[in-house]
């Protein structure tokens, strides 16, 4: 059996294989009539990925408070109407024998922006449905609006927001929660000296800058069932001099594991417009490998992992325990099933009975365009 197709168990949850769906924002909620509530688009999008054979489907970032959305059209989990909207999606994914998780997020200073195809860039003004943003410090990201520095009461509301969202996620039936501490969003903003210039207990050294993330993790773990895993997505490097780096990610991972995190989703970048990222196939894997090697904590790799043989090799070599895929799955939602055929184990990934006729003749693996 190929390593990529072997089960993986975290706490009381066993994933049928190690091909997992990375969170991918869809910017497709009704911003006015039902803000933050997932729609039929989300059901079809996430349901289609579950049908394709991945063992874990993570939703897009779900904001834990209204002002935590990246765009007015982002999904949320700050009220019960949103939780009910997610429940029908959870139920369908489960009907396919697939686990589902929700990524809990707060965009911080990168909130209230136009969705990618809006034809405009930057911050949406309040007059057009946007809102004032917040951050660890009053430092703007690029040309975005300058955020208001969070005071201690504001920080406490952030922690409560994450905990309440996790409680709703459990009630909706999610198997996993992932805390989004990457890509320049609020928890990452606190971690990085690029965006955190505070001089109180939430700034300064690594202990201060990581305080909010650890408080959020503690609050989530207090309401999230012990048998269910908590993942943390980290940007393992800011890719700028003097920014957050992989050495600090290693130290933080040890703390996260001690506070109840079960796996690190190792991404990078997003917090500094001047970042210089050496993009190429598997370009983030070395950081994931270092975290796994130096901490012993399970890690998932992500970023330009395109071919089954590439994914298999990084697992066999011990660089990661699972792989998250994004754009390859948008191009080909059947990637896991085709990967099983390419790795000579077609029976290792389930096909829905409605589609099983597709397995009667070899289906060549086609490299998706990304």
Q: What is the pLDDT of residue 362?
A: 57
Distance CA 305, CA 201 (A): 39
pTM across the whole model: 0.95
Q: Where are the alpha helices (DSSP H) in 38-79?
A: 40-51
* pLDDT tens per residue across span 60-114: 999 999 999 999 999 999 999 999 999 999 999 999 999 999 999 999 999 999 9
Per-residue model confidence as pLDDT tens digits over 316-331: 999 999 999 999 999 9
With a CB cutoff of 8 Å and minimum separation 6, the contacts of 290 are 246, 250
pLDDT in tens, 39-67: 999 999 999 999 999 999 999 999 999 99
Per-residue confidence band for 359, with pLDDT thresholds at 50, 70 and 90: confident
Q: What is the pLDDT of residues 190-239, one digit of tens each?
A: 999 999 999 999 999 999 999 999 999 999 999 999 999 999 999 999 99
Residue 258 pLDDT > 60: yes
* pLDDT given at position 273: 95
The alpha carbons of the chain give a radius of gyration, in whole angstroms, of 20
**Beta partners for residue 90, in sequence order:** none
CA 355 to chain centre: 29
Q: What is the mean pLDDT of the chain?
A: 96
Whether the per-residue pLDDT at 35 is higher than 70: the answer is yes
Q: Please state, in angstroms and rounded to a whole number, the distance separating the CA atoms of residues 316 and 311.
A: 9
pLDDT at 370: 55
Please return the burial class of 310, using the count of CB atoms within 10 Å of its CB with bins 0-12, 13-18 and 19+. middle
Identify the pLDDT of residue 365: 58
- Give the pLDDT confidence score for residue 256 in this predicted structure: 98
Q: What is the pLDDT of residue 238?
A: 97
pLDDT of residue 350: 87
**Domains, the chain, ordered by start:** 3-359 (3.20.20.70)
Catalytic site positions: 185
What percent of the chain has a predicted confidence (pLDDT) above 90? 93
What's the mean pLDDT in 112-137? 96
For 155-175, what is each residue's pLDDT tens digit? Answer: 999 999 999 999 999 999 999
Answer yes or no: are the C-beta atoms of 131 and 67 closer than 8 Å: yes
Residue 369 predicted with pLDDT over 80: no
pLDDT at 321: 98
User: 129 near 31, Cβ under 8 Å?
Assistant: yes
Helix (H) or strand (E) holding 323: strand 322-325
Task: Give the pLDDT confidence score for residue 356 in this predicted structure.
Answer: 87
pLDDT for residue 363 is more than 60:
no
Instruction: Please identify which residue in the block is written with the tokens 């500094």.
Output: 272
The pLDDT of residue 368 is: 60
Q: What is the mean pLDDT of residues 297-304?
A: 97
Give the Cα separation of 339 and 346 in Å (integer): 8
pLDDT band at 361 (very low <50, low <70, confident <90, very high): low
Lowest model confidence (mean pLDDT) among 124-138, 256-270, 338-352: 338-352
């Amino acid at each position: 059996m190929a390593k990529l197709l072997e089960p993986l168990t975290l706490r009381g949850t066993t994933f049928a294989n190690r091909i997992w769906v990375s969170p991918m924002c869809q910017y497709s909620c009704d911003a006015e009539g039902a803000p933050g509530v997932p729609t039929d688009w989300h059901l079809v999008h996430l349901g289609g990925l579950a049908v394709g054979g991945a063992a874990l489907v993570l939703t897009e970032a779900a904001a834990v408070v209204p002002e935590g959305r990246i765009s007015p059209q982002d999904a949320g989990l700050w009220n019960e109407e949103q939780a009910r909207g997610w429940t029908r999606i959870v139920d369908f994914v489960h009907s396919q024998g697939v686990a589902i998780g929700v990524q809990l997020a707060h965009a911080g200073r990168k909130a209230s922006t136009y969705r990618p195809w809006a034809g405009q860039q930057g911050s949406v003004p309040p007059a057009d449905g946007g809102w004032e943003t917040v951050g660890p410090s009053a430092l703007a990201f690029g040309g975005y609006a300058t955020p208001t520095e969070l005071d201690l009461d504001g920080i406490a509301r952030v922690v409560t927001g994450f905990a309440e969202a996790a409680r709703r996620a459990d009630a909706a039936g999610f198997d996993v929660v992932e805390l989004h501490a990457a890509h320049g969003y609020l928890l990452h903003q606190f971690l990085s000296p690029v965006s955190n210039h505070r001089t109180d207990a939430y700034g300064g050294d690594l202990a201060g800058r990581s305080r909010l993330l650890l408080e959020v993790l503690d609050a989530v773990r207090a309401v999230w069932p012990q048998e269910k895993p908590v993942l943390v997505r980290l940007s393992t490097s800011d890719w700028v001099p003097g920014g957050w780096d992989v050495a600090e990610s290693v130290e933080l991972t040890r703390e996260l594991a001690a506070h109840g995190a079960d796996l690190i989703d190792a991404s990078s970048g997003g917090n500094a417009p001047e970042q210089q990222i050496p993009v190429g196939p598997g370009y983030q894997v070395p950081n994931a490998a270092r975290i796994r090697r130096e901490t012993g904590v399970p890690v998932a790799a992500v970023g330009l992992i395109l071919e089954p043989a590439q994914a298999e090799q990084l697992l066999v070599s011990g660089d990661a325990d699972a792989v998250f895929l994004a754009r390859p799955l948008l191009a080909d939602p059947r990637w896991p099933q085709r990967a099983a055929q390419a790795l000579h184990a077609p029976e290792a990934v389930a096909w829905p009975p409605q589609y099983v006729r597709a397995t009667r003749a070899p289906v060549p693996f086609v490299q998706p365009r990304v």
